[in-house]
């Protein structure tokens, strides 16, 4: 094979570069962006999937009390300005390290005592949750009505990487805020899919029925750093740099609690 062929970027590398060109990741720091996140979650979780989750039906927003303890990321499509996806990183109170949504759902069926949040420093714990992707940026289901926004096929090729971008963003934020011990409540197929990217989440609970069939999972973020698929490193470093620049200078003391968006507005919604 000619040397030029061996140096040619793989299809996966090209798609990862395309994702970075088409999307930006925003660290939510304003009320307006926070409402975009809540509206996207309402569209996906309540309207589309019809999950029984809290929210504000009048404003068509989905949110809960843990949002005040979280940092939120929003993936935005650059050319259209549309919200494509979101995820949050929930920080528990230091003196109550198991005060997390995942523990509220699985406390009675938690099966890994050595990985229980109370075995770790509360300042090093976070939960990845409320990951949502707009249906405009997902493959249409069979028989689904025509979507109001259409993208050309060549542009849609990178859309499946939105979920990877969201997990990489959470992974980067966890490192930037010194959160080593990460938990998540996921459907087992998603956990298996993430192993392809090097994110080897360990199941730490029995299966429960909560917005589908789910289990609690744990991952050591330092191990994830070492085991991450090398193909993802350029995108990860790009996201890490972007999110690091968006965090406040006092991020060493960041405790969630909505401090990011409240720092730019005194408005409470």
Q: What Cα–Cα distance (Å) separates residue 165 from each residue in 80, 187, 201, 214, 249?
A: 18, 18, 17, 22, 24
CB atoms within 10 A of CB 106: 23
Token couple for 118: 């109370």
User: pLDDT per residue over 82-97, tens digit each?
Assistant: 999 999 999 999 999 9
CA–CA distance, 138 with 134 (Å, rounded to integer): 7
Query: In this structure, are residues 63 and 112 in contact, taking their beta carbons and an 8 Å threshold?
Result: no
User: What residue has token string 């409320």?
Assistant: 130
Q: Check residue 145 and report its DSSP letter.
A: P
Whether 4 has a pLDDT exceeding 60, the answer reads no
The confidence band for 7, taking pLDDT boundaries of 50, 70 and 90, is: low
CA–CA distance, 157 with 14 (Å, rounded to integer): 10
User: pLDDT per residue over 233-249, tens digit each?
Assistant: 999 999 999 999 999 87
Whether 222 has a pLDDT exceeding 90, the answer reads yes
Looking at residues 125-149, what average pLDDT do you find? 83
């Amino acid at each position: 094979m000619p040397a030029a062929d061996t140096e040619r970027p793989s299809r996966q590398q090209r798609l990862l570069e395309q994702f970075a060109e088409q999307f930006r990741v925003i660290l939510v720091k304003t009320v307006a962006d926070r409402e975009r996140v809540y509206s996207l979650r309402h569209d996906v979780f309540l309207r589309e999937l019809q999950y029984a989750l809290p929210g504000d039906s009048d404003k068509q927003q989905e949110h809960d009390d843990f949002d005040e303890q979280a940092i939120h990321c929003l993936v935005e499509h650059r050319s259209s300005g549309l919200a494509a996806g979101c995820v949050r990183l929930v920080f528990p109170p230091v003196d109550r390290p198991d005060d997390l949504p995942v523990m509220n759902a699985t406390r009675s069926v938690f099966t890994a005592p050595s990985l229980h949040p109370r075995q770790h420093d509360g300042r090093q714990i976070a939960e990845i949750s409320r990951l949502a992707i707009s249906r405009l940026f997902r493959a249409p289901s069979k028989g689904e009505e025509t979507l109001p926004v259409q993208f050309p096929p060549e542009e849609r090729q990178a859309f499946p990487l939105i979920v990877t971008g969201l997990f990489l963003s959470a992974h980067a934020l966890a490192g930037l805020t010194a959160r080593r011990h990460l938990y998540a409540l996921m459907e087992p197929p998603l956990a298996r899919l993430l192993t392809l990217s090097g994110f080897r989440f360990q199941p730490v609970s029995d299966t429960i029925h909560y917005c589908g069939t789910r289990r609690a999972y744990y991952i050591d973020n330092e191990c994830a750093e070492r085991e991450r698929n090398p193909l993802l490193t350029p995108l990860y470093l790009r996201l890490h740099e972007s999110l690091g620049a968006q965090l406040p200078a006092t991020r060493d003391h960041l405790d969630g609690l909505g401090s990011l968006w409240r720092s730019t507005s005194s408005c409470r919604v």
